[in-house]
Amino acid sequence: MLLGCIADDFTGATDLANNLVRSGMRTLQTIGVPAAPLSGDVDAVVVALKSRTIAAADAVAQSLAALDWLRRAGCRQFYFKYCSTFDSTPQGNIGPVAEALMQALGAKLAIACPAFPTNARTIYMGNLFVGELPLSESGMRDHPLTPMTDANLVRVLQAQSRAKVGLVAWPVVAAGAAAIRARFAALAAAGARLAVVDAINDADLHAVATACADHLLITAGSGVAIGLPENFRRAGLLPLREDAAELPGVPGLAAVISGSCSQATNAQVAHWLESGRPAIRIDPLANARAEDLATEALRQATPLLASGPVLFYATAVPDVVKAVQSKLGVAEAGALVEGALAAIAQGLIARGVTRLVVAGGETSGAVVQALGIAALKIGPQIDPGVPWTATQGERPILLALKSGNFGSRDFFAKSLAQLDA
C-alpha cells in the first residue's frame, strides 16, 4: 500500500478518494479505523473519521489511532484531509491533529493547503477564497459549527497551533516544484513547521504535490491529491490503471437524504422541489424523538418509492436553523436531525432501496454508521469531489456521499440518472 489517508469527515474522505481514483489509484475508504487488515489489492486507503467538530483531544486520539493502523498496513506516505473551506475554530481541530501526526511521524515540516480550484476554492497570499469571495464573506461565515470569520489561513492556523506557521506564496508556487522545495527549506530554517501553500489552479496543485514527494505527511483538502499518483509512478511504484473506478451494477429503488444546510445544498433541495419530485421535510420541532420523526417520514414515503426516488430533507436556510437551535440547543438539534436521518436510511434499506444519495458530511457519517458500513469501494465521479461508491459483500449498496458545499444545482437528479446511463 502506498498512501494512507486520514479524513476528518465522511464526505471529505470520499472527496479525497475520488481524486485518487480519477488519477489511477485503486482506493478503498474505511468507515473508522479498521479492526483487522484489509483484504484485496489497493493502492490507497482513506480512513474516514467523524472528528471535525468533536473535542480536539478526541480528534487527536482518533487520528493517531488511524495513523497507527495505516503505518502497520505498510503505507509509505500519509495524508491528513480536511475541508476545502478549512472548517476549524481557534480550538482546532486542524492544528492540533496536524501537529500530533507530525510528532508521531517525526516530520519536520508539513504543508497546509485546502485549495481545490475545480470547486472554486483557491488560496492567494495565504487567503482562502470561495469563488470571488474571501472565505469570511462566503456562506461559511455563518456555519453553525465552524463559522469562518477570517480568510487568512496563516492567522487561522497559527491561532490553533503551537508550531510556527509560514507561507509559500503564489509567486513561488508558480515558479514550480524546485522553487517550492527551496521555500520549504527556508521556512524550516526559520523555525516554521507548518506551511500554508497558495494554489489558484490545478497546475499549482501538481507543482505542490511534486514538491511534497518526499514529505512523510501532507495536510490538505483533496486538491493536492491529484498530483500524488504521478509521484508514485515516477518512482516506479504505481502502474497506469484504467479500471480504478469500476463498480458493480446494482438494481433497486433509490432515495435522497439531505441534512446539510449549506448554500449549495439548499439550492439542490430547491431544484428538486421545483421539479415536482416527491419530498418529505424532516422538522425537528415536530417531535422530540428521532425515531418518531423517522417512522412518520417512512410511513409517508413507502407508497411513493416504487414510482421513483424520494427526497428526505432537514436542509434549511440559516435563519430557520438558528431558530431551531435557539429552541432545542445547537448540539441537541444536530443530534435529533442526524438520528432521524440515520433511522430513515435504515428504514429505506429495509424497504429495498439500494441506491442512496446523502448530502452533508455530518449526515453522511450518521448514515454510514447506522447502516454498519465498514468500507466503500470508490467509483466514478458525479461532480468534482463526489463519486459513487459501493459497499462490500454479497448485496452491495451504491452510495453517493456529498459534502454540503459540493455539487451542481441539479446534483440529486443527475447523480441517480448517471446510474441508468
Q: What is the CATH number of the domain that holds 373?
A: 3.40.980.20
Please give the average per-residue pLDDT across 53-75, as a whole number: 96
Helices (H), 219-289: 228-234, 263-274
At 172, is the pLDDT very low, low, confident or very high (cuts 50, 70, 90)? very high
Q: What is the distance between the alpha carbons of residues 295 and 257, in angstroms, rounded to a whole number?
A: 15
Left if phi > 0, otherwise alpha if psi is -120 to 50, otherwise beta: which for 263? alpha
- Let me know if residue 88 belongs to a domain: yes
pLDDT at residue 399 tops 90: yes
| Confidence (pTM) | 0.84
Both 220 and 330 in one domain: the answer is no
Range 310-331 burial, b when 16+ CB lie within 10 A, else e: bbbbbbbebeebeebbeebeee
- Let me know if residue 239 belongs to a domain: no
Please give the average per-residue pLDDT across 84-91, as a whole number: 85
pLDDT at residue 143 tops 80: no
Both 272 and 202 in one domain: the answer is no
Please give the average per-residue pLDDT across 121-150, as a whole number: 88
pLDDT at residue 111 tops 90: yes
At 283, is the pLDDT very low, low, confident or very high (cuts 50, 70, 90)? very high
pLDDT at 407: 93
Q: What is the distance between the alpha carbons of residues 275 and 410, in angstroms, rounded to a whole number?
A: 10
Task: Tell me if residue 126 falls in helix, strand or coil.
Answer: coil
pLDDT at 1: 93
- Let me know if residue 303 belongs to a domain: yes
**Sequence letter at residue 71:** R
CB-CB contact of 7 with 49 (8 Å) = yes
CA distances from 277 to 6, 31, 263, 269 (A): 37, 31, 20, 10
Range with lowest mean pLDDT among 67-71, 100-104, 240-244: 240-244
- Let me know if residue 210 belongs to a domain: yes
Both 207 and 296 in one domain: the answer is no
At 145, is the pLDDT very low, low, confident or very high (cuts 50, 70, 90)? confident
- Let me know if residue 358 belongs to a domain: yes
pLDDT at residue 158 tops 90: yes
pLDDT at residue 2 tops 90: yes
pLDDT at 220: 98
Helices (H), 226-317: 228-234, 263-274, 290-305
Both 305 and 213 in one domain: the answer is no
At 354, is the pLDDT very low, low, confident or very high (cuts 50, 70, 90)? very high
Burial (CB < 10 A; 0-12, 13-18, 19+), residue 376, is: buried
Range with lowest mean pLDDT among 130-134, 240-244, 325-329: 240-244
Q: Which residues pair with 63 in a beta bridge?
A: none
pLDDT at 46: 97
The 8-class DSSP code of residue 11 comes to H
Taking all residues of the chain, what is their mean pLDDT, rounded to a whole number?
94
Q: From 202, 234, 266, give the residue that closes a domain.
A: 234
Nearest to 82 by CA among 168, 159, 165, 157: 157
- Let me know if residue 243 belongs to a domain: no
Q: From 204, 234, 264, give the residue that closes a domain.
A: 234
Both 292 and 403 in one domain: the answer is yes
- Let me know if residue 248 belongs to a domain: no
- 33 Cβ neighbours under 8 A, 6+ residues apart: 47, 49, 62, 65, 66, 69
Please give the average per-residue pLDDT across 350-368, as a whole number: 94
CA distances from 103 to 50, 107, 356 (A): 22, 7, 39
pLDDT at 53: 87
Q: How do beta strands 133-134 and 127-130 pair?
A: antiparallel
Please give the average per-residue pLDDT across 337-356, as a whole number: 97
What is the maximum span of the chain, computed from C-alpha positions, in angstroms? 66
pLDDT at residue 138 tops 90: no
pLDDT at 198: 98
Helices (H), 34-176: 56-72, 94-105, 153-159, 170-174
Total tally of structural domains belonging to the chain: 2
Q: Which residues pair with 386 in a beta bridge?
A: 383
Both 224 and 274 in one domain: the answer is no
Q: From 205, 234, 263, give the residue that closes a domain.
A: 234
pLDDT at residue 92 tops 90: no
Please give the average per-residue pLDDT across 196-223, as a whole number: 98
